[in-house]
Amino acid sequence: MDLLFLGKVLWRKLWILVSVPLIAAFAAYIFTMDTPETYVSKAQLATGFTIHDQVQLTEERFNTREADIKFSNLMSAMNSGLAVNLTSYRLLLHDLDPENVPYRRPDTENFATNAEEVEKVREVVSRKLANFSPLSSTDPEFVLINEFLKAYGYTYSDIKDKLAIERIPNTDYIEVYWAADKPGLAALGANAFSEEFIRYSKSLKSERSSESVEFLRQLSETKKAEVDKWLATQKSFKSDNNVYNLEGESGMKMGQLSVLESQASTTRSNINRLELTIQRLNEDIARLSAPASSSSNQRILDLLTEINEMNSRLITGGGNNQVLLDSLQFLREELRVAQDNSLREGATISPGYTAADLQNQLREAEIDLKVQRNDLRQVEASIRGIKYSFSGYANKEAELAAIQKEVDLATQEYTMALEKYNEATNRQLSSDNLRMILVAAPPVNPEPGIRFIIIGLAAFTSLLLCMMVIVGLEMADGAARSPEKFRRLVNLPMAGVINRIDSRNFNIRTFFNQQNGNEETELFKSLLRKFRHEIESLNGKVILFTSPRRRDGKTFVMFSLAYVLSLLDKRVLILDTNFKNNSLSQILGRGQSDLKLLDTKKHKLLVSAQGGEEKKVDHEFEHENSYDLINPTKYKNIYIVGNSGGGSESPAEILSGRDFTNLVSILADSFDYVLMEGASLNDYSDTKELVRYADKVVAVFSAETPIKQLDREAIQYFKSLGKKFGGCVLNRVDSKDLKL
């Protein structure tokens, strides 16, 4: 639907859109006259979810999502029933306290109390307030306390209706609003709710956090005891095994072991050399006759003497003099080289040696061999002792490492437990961030907007409902009440629009003779003249008027058109071919007793056929018979060919055997316009049978009837006529709809 059209419809109904909201606003004003004044007080709470202004033991980064979740949880908790119950207790105790001025007093006629009941209620309510106990129907004192709450107006529903909790966007603050009929009560309610919720929240958090902190404290103490136990075990092990410096002692033993192994290797080399020397001496003694170099033998004898002396000194010194050992090893190496040279010089011993000398050398060599073997046994014994001590050190180190591992593990567990304990302690310290930063004060003035908001809301709601009803009725109404809507519905060309007039005492001569008629009369004459102009532009003399349904106004439109055409000195003949309803014949033929009718059998038109024989008449007789059907009317230049009406036959059946086409052609030559009327297209086939006799077809629609399915079939038929269709006439249009 066109928004502009809707706007015009609403503008036409402006009196409704103005009067109904005014009535609604006046009614709301009357109904709210006795409404008591409302005072609203505000308290403000800081949550600490986004701002930490207390000492923090651990650094915590701000998390927006976590803060939003905390705010949602807090708002849900604040809207819970327990906080409202606690507020009810506070307000009731205030009014029951004889030292306070009560804000409300119950009706003594309907609520009788005594001092004992009041004292009992105060005692029970105080206990419930201290224990955070909600009022339950299972409580023995439920009936009594509930009666007091109802009498004073402090029930759960009363408190809940007056309470409003909101978070200030993008801040850390929550505002608590309380509405009451007295300023002091409004401030008391807001403060009582805030204080009781903070007290309950602290109690709940303290209970939960205390359990967690106590558990973590015990856990940390247990881990600390384990660490102390393993440290004591480590200290005792070191003391019992004298292993305070295992790494230093182990390094010293390794140095001694390296020296002894080097000394053992040298001693084994000397033993091998002495064994070879003894073997050679035995061979030399066996070859006493072998020549030898005197100088080489002398050098060998000198070396043997020095070796014997140095060996004696080494034995006397205990065998630990490293310098003597190195010198002795050097002399022995030199002796070996001299002996090798002596052997190369000759296969026999030098001449300076006797068998006795060789025997002496042999004995010295055997003594040296024994000394070297004895030294080797002592060194190997020392090596074995050091290696044995190493195995003891390894076992002690393994045991000490296992103890140290337990100490490290226990220390790590203790450190983790201590960190969790410190974190829990910090959270316990920072969990009480919810606090009141703005205490509610009694408002000075009542809320001015409540009553006016109700009045304005009543006016706005009624206006909206009126608009919805008007638009809904307009959308549900399928009638083409305006030309614009008609064009959208039928999509056919328009030939004219006729406004609705009072047709009860309709006299068209009076309409056109009066100079200054009313607005509807002047509009009717103007629209009718526009329609006349469109008909003159059709270039057709024989025009068939029809409509989709009965009583759409075909008769009225044809007669009105005939009259305005007659004003132009146009000769107009009306052929009343609506054989189902001869309204035109009755209106224009009124007072004519000898009215000639088209469907009378005695009038033979033009050419008739009997028994297959064709009878011809001359042209003059044809004209005479044709004009015999024409009836004059009381209106100048308007004539009519009537019918008897009420017939059940169709035009094709009535005109069967008559040359109706020739009749229409002859009449059209004698008149400026020939207007024909067909029965309603939805009910009869008359229009379709008469279309072939007409030059143009004009459809008449009523603006008061909706377009239905049968009408749409008729519309499709009009579209199928093509150029023969002369347009639509929208009849009975309200003058107000024409102005939309």
Q: Would you state the structure tokens that stand for residue 302, as one six-digit string?
A: 């000198």
User: pLDDT (tens digit, 9 = 90+) per residue, 252-274?
Assistant: 666 777 788 888 888 888 888 88
Which range among 54-63, 394-403, 463-472 shows the weakest confidence by mean pLDDT? 54-63
Of all helices (H) and strands (E), which one includes residue 675? strand 673-677
Instruction: Over range 386-406, report the average pLDDT.
Output: 68
Whether the predicted pLDDT of 402 surpasses 90: no
Write down the residue that tokens 């004539």 correspond to. 639
Q: What is the CA radius of gyration of the chain?
A: 68
Where exactly are the structural domains of the chain?
Answer: 1-24+447-476, 25-214+434-438, 246-428, 477-738
Tokens read off for 676? 């024909």
What distance in Å separates the CA atoms of residue 89 and residue 530, rounded to the nearest whole number? 84
Return the SS3 of 699: strand
Task: Sheet with 725-733: list strands edge to edge.
Answer: 494-499, 725-733, 696-702, 542-546, 673-677, 572-575, 638-641, 631-632
pLDDT band at 60 (very low <50, low <70, confident <90, very high): low
d(CA 87, CA 75): 16
DSSP string, 615-632: ----HHHHHHHHHTT-EE
Angle (CA) 537 538 541, round 5°: 115
Q: How many C-beta atoms lie closer than 10 Å to residue 475's C-beta?
A: 10
Could you tell me the pLDDT band of residue 295, with boundaries at 50, 70 and 90? low
CA-CA-CA-CA dihedral for 588, 590, 592, 597, to nearest 10: 60
Of 22-31, 298-307, 365-374, 541-550, give the lowest mean pLDDT range.
298-307
pLDDT of residue 369 exceeding 60: yes
* Per-range mean pLDDT, top range of 154-163, 203-212, 343-352: 154-163
**Is 730's pLDDT higher than 90?**
yes
Cα separation of 680 and 55, whole Å?
Answer: 95
Closest C-alpha among 725, 739, 735, 712 to residue 494? 725
Mean pLDDT of the chain: 80
Average pLDDT (406-411) is 81
pTM for the structure as a whole: 0.47
What are the CA-CA distances from residue 477 to residues 15, 509, 548, 618, 728 (Å)? 21, 35, 18, 59, 20
Structure tokens that stand for 223 in this block? 């881990």
Give the per-residue pLDDT at 238: 67
Per-residue model confidence (pLDDT) at position 47:
85
Q: Which of 208-217, 431-440, 569-578 has the highest mean pLDDT?
A: 569-578
- Extended beta strands in 500-646, E state: 542-546, 572-575, 609-610, 613-614, 631-632, 638-641
Say which DSSP state 726 is in: E
Helical ranges in 443-493 per DSSP H: 449-476, 483-490
How far is 558 from 216, CA to CA, in rounded Å? 105
What percent of the chain is predicted at pLDDT more than 70?
81
Please count the other Cβ atoms lying within 10 Å of the Cβ belonging to residue 304: 22
Q: Are 598 and 697 in contact (CB under 8 A)?
A: no
- Tell me what pLDDT residue 207 has: 59
Strand partners, 198: none
Question: In the prediction, which pLDDT does 613 show?
Answer: 39
pLDDT grade, residue 56 (50/70/90)?
A: very low
Q: Which residue has the higher pLDDT, 212 or 706?
A: 706
Helices and strands counted in the chain (H then E): 24, 14
Tokens of 88: 């009810």
Q: What's the whole-number mean pLDDT along residues 371-388?
A: 81
Res 453 pLDDT > 60:
yes
Measured over the CA atoms of residue 484, residue 490, residue 494 and residue 496, the dihedral's sign is negative
Q: Which CATH code for domain 477-738?
A: 3.40.50.300
Of residues 375 and 399, more confidence is placed in 375
Give residue 713's pLDDT band: very low, low, confident or very high (50, 70, 90): very high
Q: Does 419 score more than 80 pLDDT? A: no
Q: Two tokens at 452?
A: 């006016």
Map 526-557 to HEC letters.
Answer: HHHHHHHHHHHCCCCCEEEEECCCCCCCHHHH
**What per-residue confidence (pLDDT) applies to 600?**
67
Is pLDDT at 591 greater than 70 in this prediction?
no
Alpha-carbon gap, residue 98 to 340, rounded angstroms = 135
Paired tokens of 471: 């638009």
Q: Do 342 and 297 contact (CB within 8 A), yes or no?
A: yes
Residue 589: Cβ-neighbour burial (10 angstroms; 0-12, 13-18, 19+): buried
Residues 6+ apart with CB under 8 A from 634: none
pLDDT at position 478, please? 67
Q: What is the pLDDT of residues 604-618, one digit of tens each?
A: 443 333 333 334 433
Residue 293 has pLDDT above 70, yes or no: no
The rounded distance, in Å, linking the Cα atoms of 470 and 441 is 49
Counting residues of the chain whose pLDDT is more than 90, the rounded percentage is: 18
